[in-house]
Each structure stands twice: as C-alpha cells, then as structure tokens.
Amino acid sequence: INTDEIFPVKIKENKDLIFKIVDKEIKINDDNNKVIIVGDNNSQFILFSMNRYIDDIDIDTKEIRVKYINALKAGYTIKTINKTISDDDIIEFAWPITKNVTVAAGKISFVIEIVGKEEDLCQCYYWSSLPASLEVQKGLDPNIEFIVDECDCGCLDIFDEPGEEIPENPDDNPPSTEEVK
C-alpha cells in the first residue's frame, strides 16, 4: 500500500506546523496550534524537517519512523510518510496520528528513528532523536448515548425528495454548422 496516496499531506503548504529536528533535539514550536483529541484516527499529521545528511549519511536512503509511547503506556513504531527533499538539503516527512496514539488522553512520548543498511560498510545504521512529548486532549465521553436531534422545520425535506428532471433548453445548445447551412 502506498501510504502517500492514502495520507496526502501538503508539507509545503503547512510550514508553520513543522517540528524541526536540530542535532538530536525535536524543536516543538510553542505557537503550533496542532490539537490532537482522543479518537482522532488519520485525521492529523505531525510534520518534521531536518538536515538530509547526518554523519555524512544520506538519510533519504533510510527508513524514517516514529517510536512512541501513548497515554496508556503502550509502545508502537510507525513509518513516516510523504518524505520530500528541498533544494537546501532539508528532508521533510509526516507522522500520521492513528488511533493507537489517541486511545486515551494524556502525554505521548516519542522519538524519530532513522534505520537502514550501509551497503559500502556492510553494517546497519541507526540514529535516534532525543525524546519529545505531545499531549492528547480529552474529547467527549464515548460511553454516552447521543440522540440525533432531527430538524423538524421541513427546510431539509427538499434534499430527501428526488429532483425533477430539468428539460433541455434549446437556447443552451447552439446549432451545428451543418444546421446553419
């Protein structure tokens, strides 16, 4: 499955939402208005940017993933998506926030990992950021039974009835060149 098609993230249009990784530290912008709520599933993304080259290794050739511990203290690892490279050797990627992240309100601790094999050196490469954290906010109680409040004003009834076919207006279709002759 190509996750980039499932989770289309326009990184270039969301520069203010990008967390920068400098050396091994994830810089979370205090002005970031990213709100993650219990129950969110693939509706939010955390965007990251960092230098493309670390230890003289091109991390574009490696797997970038997020290892995290959710509020219930369960640990997971997920591959990042939508990896792009800018002109100034900055690599950008996204972390799709899944239901495993948002299973409960509370603190999420996470690191960015870069892993891969160095063919020339015949060894595995591993790099990790320092831990960072985000907060999952409490949503509405899912155990409450909600009753749908139906609109009784009749204003929406027109959307329930099949529409009538609109007759074709002859003025909308200009005659063909053969009919003019």
pLDDT tens, the chain, 181 aa long = 444 444 444 444 445 456 787 888 778 765 555 688 999 998 888 889 999 998 888 999 899 999 999 999 999 999 999 888 887 889 999 999 999 999 999 999 999 999 998 776 678 889 999 999 999 999 887 677 777 776 666 555 555 555 555 455 555 555 554 554 4
Count H helices and E strands in the chain, helices first: 2, 13
**Residues in contact with 23: Cβ distance below 8 Å, sequence separation at least 6, in sequence order:** none
What's the rounded Cα separation, in Å, for the pair 6 and 117?
27
How distant, in Å, are the alpha carbons of 27, 111, 142 from that of 76? 22, 11, 24
pTM, full prediction: 0.68
Cross-strand pairs, 64: 114
pLDDT at 140: 80
